[in-house]
């Protein structure tokens, strides 16, 4: 009579042993989600400011001079972290969630660029040139 091998988890052969790959994937997913959530909140906040406080006048909603570069850099980092996370997970629902986070990171960076291009959001130096000394 042959003994059947016990079923194992897909992440680790020993259920009592910590799976480093899963732990790293969870940390990466959390980091990417936090960055993307902060970016999405910033976009929504700037849209709300533009619509309510600035009475939808172009050039009145302004941010620091280096904000666009750092915002796009953080969007790229969150997108890359999410893509790496998708490869670290071996279950499809978790992979899809990581890909959705990557899509949100790119979308929020594109929204920030669109707001700048349309004049909804300008840098301090652009604002100073528009409104004078």
How far, in whole angstroms, is CA 129 from its chain's centroid?
32
Paired tokens of 83: 């893509």
Question: What pLDDT, in 10s, does the model give residues 50-64?
Answer: 888 777 788 788 888
Looking at the domain assignment, is residue 13 inside a domain?
Answer: no
Paired tokens of 104: 């949100």
**How many domains does the chain divide into?**
1
Domain span at 127: 28-53+61-131
pLDDT at 75: 92
Of 54, 38, 50, nearest to 116 by C-alpha is 50
Looking at the domain assignment, is residue 127 inside a domain?
Answer: yes
Looking at the domain assignment, is residue 96 inside a domain?
Answer: yes
Of 73, 80, 62, 84, nearest to 109 by C-alpha is 73
Looking at the domain assignment, is residue 8 inside a domain?
Answer: no
Looking at the domain assignment, is residue 15 inside a domain?
Answer: no
Looking at the domain assignment, is residue 18 inside a domain?
Answer: no
DSSP alpha helices (H): ranges in 49-66? none
Looking at the domain assignment, is residue 10 inside a domain?
Answer: no
pTM: 0.77
pLDDT at 129: 86
Looking at the domain assignment, is residue 1 inside a domain?
Answer: no
Question: What pLDDT, in 10s, does the model give residues 67-87?
Answer: 888 889 999 999 999 999 999
């Amino acid at each position: 009579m042959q003994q059947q091998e016990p079923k194992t988890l897909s992440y680790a052969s020993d259920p009592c042993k910590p799976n480093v790959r899963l732990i790293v994937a969870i940390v990466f997913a959390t980091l990417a989600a936090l960055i993307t959530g902060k970016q999405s909140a910033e976009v929504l906040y700037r849209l709300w400011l533009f619509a309510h406080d600035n009475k939808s006048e172009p050039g009145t909603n302004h941010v620091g001079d280096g904000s666009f570069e750092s915002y796009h850099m953080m969007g790229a980092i969150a997108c890359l972290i999410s893509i790496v996370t998708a490869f670290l997970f071996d279950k499809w629902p978790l992979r899809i969630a990581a890909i959705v986070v990557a899509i949100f990171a790119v979308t929020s960076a594109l929204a920030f660029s669109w707001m700048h291009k349309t004049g909804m959001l300008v840098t301090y130096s652009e604002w100073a040139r528009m409104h004078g000394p």
